[in-house]
Structure 1
Amino acid sequence: MAVHTAAHHSAGQVLPFRESLLAILGVSFVTMLVALDQTVVGTALPTIVAELRGFELYAWVATSYLLASVITVPIFGRLGDYYGRKPFVIASIIVFTAASVLCGAANSMLFLVIARGLQGIGGGMLVGTAFACIPDLFPDSVVRLRWQVVMSSAFGIANAVGPSLGGFLTQYCGWRSVFYVNLPVGLISFYFVWRYLPHLRHVEHRERMRLDWPGALLIAIALGSLQLFVERLPEHGLTAGSLGLLVLAVVAAYGLWRWERVCPQPILPIDMFRNASLNALFTLAVLGGFTLFSLLFYAPLLFQGGFGMTPNEAGVVITPFVVFITVGSIANGRVISRISKPNLMLYIGFAMIAFCCFVIAIATRGTPRALLMGSMIVGGMGLGLVLPNLTIFAQQTAGREHLGIATALLQSLRMIGGMFGTAIVGTMVTQLYTNGVHKALDAEQATHWLPQLADPQILINREAQTSLVADLTRAGHHGAPLLEAAREALVSAIHLGLALAAIIALISLWQTRRVPPIKLRSKPEPVMHAD
């Protein structure tokens, strides 16, 4: 196996054009694997629960995956810095695809939850290593932006077709096919990565690395406890158990900070957080995740439950949001290398996201669909300007030594921001909706009907609504007005939640000033060797 110092080709890349294209196609299939799974599975969940009968574990189908992936992203991001990323990308494809087959073969909700946890480990390995392969292949950040469009397009295509594909497969092929669809995508990505992705490693880390197991364990405890806390918050509120999880997360995070300061080879280099530019970018990743996930989770509920759209109608309104994230990324790659102040794109992006949130936060049932779709286009474009630039800026600021862990941390912090966004907005929506429904029922002296209206999903299921209205009418109550009152309570609750997301986007806009002026490097650093 030949080892040589990477010879950078004319465009600031370590491979010629054809090999670069095939390698990035492999990485793009890998990211498509994760994106497709995230969007396809959600559509099938109600059908899965109906067949496997385990509603008490409903949330854990998503939680087990998120929990495992949030923990493993920074761990494998760091290991990739030391040992090269190709072995971990290959291992992650195998784990993720095998776990997908296990999910499809599940005969109980508990089995499915465990298989989803294993799938989350594979997904965390994927995110922690695949995104950092791009700067390995293209050390020149200007060239990297152009090539990253391929990856952004694959991600966008998977997000755009995922919900429709999930519905089609569930309806015509059964819910198990939603997991089995990962098998051909996994095999294709495995072939391309094995055949074309070079094994690039860093010269300075050829000596034996001692794995920081205490650091990895503390990361797992801190992020795991935090994930469980935010998952419990919307449903249970601030209970003793929830506060205990929060305290455990804080104690583990403090212990991690103390340990990593003295560890000779830390898995999480604390000095990165002392870098003003990286610190600002990490903060923006958390805030951006808060806004993004709040919008993605609650805009569909507003359109269907609040405005009475069918799932198909809501999908038509929301699809431009996902598609234009990709369009924005492509436009960003064309523009940012031609302007003298790349930071400007972050300002424009966050302003567009805030605009989108504010429009949706004041929208009513009578708002023209064209305006709703237009705002979704603006929001998607904004994210297309923000997401790739946060990654590019962090990779350039962190330097070659910490490239993988910086990329992985950015992804983890975005997910943590999303966790907080969905938990806080979810708690607001749940409490405000319940209070509004309780008030309407109290005026009709029908508070004993609260359990039937407590879950806003009733406002999406039209058959259940018809049945409930008939039951209320037979009981001597005004069924249709009560259902309408519940719908208005949901609209008001989500409006306030998305208004908070818009405020967070404005705070992100203000925080962008903390990012020092970034100069995109046009000269690559020949610091790697390839196998």
Structure 2
Amino acid sequence: MSIAPGSVREEESSAGQGIRSFRQSLLAMLGLSSVVMMVAIDQTVVGTALPSIVADLHRFDLYEWVATSYLLTSVITVPIFGRLGDWLGRKPLIVIAIVLFTVASALCGFAQTMPMLIACRALQGIGGGMLVGTCFASIPDLFPDPVVRLRWQVLFSSAFGLANAVGPSLGGFLSQHYGWRSAFLVNIPVGVVSLYLAAKHLPHIRHARFERLNADWKGACLITVALGSLQLLVEAAGSTGSHAGLYAAVAVLSMGLLVRQERRAPNPVIPPGLLKDRATLVLLVLSLLMGVAMFVLLFYVPLLLQGGLGLDAGKAGIVVTPMVVCITVGTITNTRIVTRLEKPNLLLYLGFGLLGVSCAAIASVGAGGASVGFVVAMVMAGVGIGFVMPNLTVFVQQVAGKTRLGIATALIQSARMVGGMLGTAMAGTMARHLYRAGLEPVLTAKAAAAPGHWTLALQDPQTLMSAQAAADFAGHANHAGFDGEAMLGAARAVLVHALQTSLFGVALLMAAACVIVRLLPLIPITSIAASRQQGAPE
């Protein structure tokens, strides 16, 4: 794809020329906020509905793929469309992405098998990646002054928080009363509203340049192959008869070709020059680690609550809600204090510290899911994410400069999704192996004479996620002369232990993140006016 040369200047269509009034800024931010709300609702609704999906469509071995297929395609589209937005303007891309995301959501709602659902989620991820890559970069377009930007970002964060507040409970309610398909179909009316607001009120801001734009599709394909093979490698680890060696070879080869391609491409997906800056590289690593914690909590705490502790989808959604609500609380609190600190980096220590403590606490109190300790741990997780996520975005925008702002913002979002993809794959693989390894000896202790098919029936824990399936299993086991409830209880205890171990691993990663923050140079948050007074470049 190429664009004819243009003059080197920033330009706006008539809808966005000059200084925008408060009303124009408000309507533009409402358009962006509605889009973010749609993506956030999808993430939180699907996380709570996922155990119900597995109970209906089975294939627990593909549990994490419902999440990672979305993240994998999003990772590719975020930087591609982040860069295209720098050249073409972000509004047309946002409109196209909303349509694609809404159509893909409808297809997910009608999926009949897990592979079909995974394919539709991958398509949905393309739309979601386009939205993330363009919406976050639209805010500095609208508000170049970082201090003003932080004030307006409260509206953005509030929309995110509102979606997070209703998402888990909505997902649980819909799954329990109307079936898991409604958790995807709910995106359709939200998409229609988002499309109207974005098309009507978002200004079309373009950055015209002399050079021709050649999208780095080859680099995007190599990233897809590299990340896909890495995920397959993670899932194959420890499995007998797997193709782990093949996946490792493909990952190494594709990464080598990617490095070569990005050095040669005129407009690389991952600009090598951007990665040479230490601050940018550290911020990308931190974003990846935050993605691990955020998505593992979103997708595996509902499994812990429903499959391990026996809560229904509605109650699980209520228990998850404090975390996602407190993401907004943490973000708003962060916005109020970050510009007043001489060392804003301190908030990253606090955020990652809270995330680490919360993961360890959630794992420790797993046996009492509705306890006060569990809820407090969820609150800490939300506040921790709220202290980390907006700062990583603002920090990278500060160090990247105006000309690379879009791609730098997109890479931060992509790094978070890569972390989510690899984190959910690792957590799922570890939990699955630990569950299957611990199930047989525990069931043998509970029912020594149980035939092998009883143990085999619980190898995939979808039986634990459906009240009807659990009741049927217990009834059949009791009829055969075994204690069905004791067998189910033993299987739930094994699943809880497996998920607890995964969460402890995430807690250790958050401790490592606190160490990595030490490598980040001081990044002050100052307004454009203050920078000019100090003689600093904008």
Shorter-normalised TM range: 0.7 to 0.9
Give the alignment partner of residue 79 of structure 1, picking from 84, 93, 99. Answer: 84
Asked if structure 2 preserves the Cα contact closer than 8 Å seen for 1:284 and 1:511, the reply is yes
Asked if structure 2 preserves the Cα contact closer than 8 Å seen for 1:14 and 1:138, the reply is no
Matches within 5 A, 1:405-424: 405-424=407-426
How far the C-alpha of 1:523 sits from its partner, in A, is 0.4
Asked if structure 1 preserves the Cα contact closer than 8 Å seen for 2:51 and 2:303, the reply is no
C-alpha distance in structure 2 between counterparts of 1:85 and 1:60, whole Å: 30
Question: 2:220 aligns to what?
Answer: 216
- Secondary structure of the corresponding residue to residue 247 of structure 2: helix
Give the alignment partner of residue 513 of structure 1, picking from 514, 518, 521. Answer: 518
2:472 is aligned with 1:490 = no
Deviates more, 1:239-248 or 1:405-414: 239-248
The one-character-per-residue Cα deviations of 1:120-140 (angstroms, maximum 9, x if unpaired) are 221111111111111111112
- Secondary structure of the corresponding residue to residue 265 of structure 1: coil
Matches within 5 A, 1:115-514: 115-169=120-174, 177-203=182-208, 205-230=209-234, 232-233=235-236, 237=239, 240-366=242-368, 369-443=371-445, 444-446=448-450, 448=452, 449-514=454-519
- Secondary structure of the corresponding residue to residue 206 of structure 2: strand
Taking a change above 3 Å as real, the CA distance of residues 60 and 351 of structure 1, as seen in their structure-2 partners, is closer
C-alpha distance in structure 1 between counterparts of 2:9 and 2:278, whole Å: 35
How far the C-alpha of 1:162 sits from its partner, in A, is 2.1
The one-character-per-residue Cα deviations of 1:168-210 (angstroms, maximum 9, x if unpaired) are 445666665544433332232222222322222335x244323
Asked if structure 2 preserves the Cα contact closer than 8 Å seen for 1:43 and 1:167, the reply is yes
How far the C-alpha of 1:383 sits from its partner, in A, is 0.8
Question: 1:69 aligns to what?
Answer: 74
How far the C-alpha of 1:510 sits from its partner, in A, is 1.1
C-alpha distance in structure 2 between counterparts of 1:259 and 1:96, whole Å: 30
Taking a change above 3 Å as real, the CA distance of residues 426 and 518 of structure 1, as seen in their structure-2 partners, is same
Deviates more, 1:300-309 or 1:129-138: 300-309
How far the C-alpha of 1:114 sits from its partner, in A, is 4.4
Asked if structure 1 preserves the Cα contact closer than 8 Å seen for 2:150 and 2:335, the reply is yes
Taking a change above 3 Å as real, the CA distance of residues 243 and 200 of structure 1, as seen in their structure-2 partners, is farther
Taking a change above 3 Å as real, the CA distance of residues 148 and 184 of structure 1, as seen in their structure-2 partners, is same
The one-character-per-residue Cα deviations of 1:403-455 (angstroms, maximum 9, x if unpaired) are 11111111111111112222222222222222221112334143612211212
Asked if structure 1 preserves the Cα contact closer than 8 Å seen for 2:76 and 2:224, the reply is yes
The one-character-per-residue Cα deviations of 1:5-30 (angstroms, maximum 9, x if unpaired) are 679xxxxx953322111111111111
Taking a change above 3 Å as real, the CA distance of residues 284 and 365 of structure 1, as seen in their structure-2 partners, is same
**Residue identity in the other structure for 2:421:** M
**Share of identical aligned residues, percent?**
51
Question: 1:10 aligns to what?
Answer: none
Taking a change above 3 Å as real, the CA distance of residues 117 and 466 of structure 1, as seen in their structure-2 partners, is closer
Deviates more, 1:372-381 or 1:441-450: 441-450
How far the C-alpha of 1:372 sits from its partner, in A, is 1.4
TM-score w.r.t. length of structure 1 = 0.87
C-alpha distance in structure 2 between counterparts of 1:108 and 1:496, whole Å: 30
How far the C-alpha of 1:310 sits from its partner, in A, is 3.5
How far the C-alpha of 1:280 sits from its partner, in A, is 0.7
C-alpha distance in structure 2 between counterparts of 1:246 and 1:312, whole Å: 41
C-alpha distance in structure 2 between counterparts of 1:219 and 1:319, whole Å: 34
Asked if structure 2 preserves the Cα contact closer than 8 Å seen for 1:286 and 1:413, the reply is yes
How many residues are paired up?
516
Asked if structure 2 preserves the Cα contact closer than 8 Å seen for 1:140 and 1:523, the reply is yes
How far the C-alpha of 1:334 sits from its partner, in A, is 0.7
- Secondary structure of the corresponding residue to residue 524 of structure 2: coil
TM-score w.r.t. length of structure 2 = 0.86
**Residue identity in the other structure for 1:124:** G
Structure 2, unmatched stretches of 5+, are 1-7, 13-17, 533-538
Asked if structure 2 preserves the Cα contact closer than 8 Å seen for 1:438 and 1:447, the reply is no
C-alpha distance in structure 2 between counterparts of 1:108 and 1:365, whole Å: 32
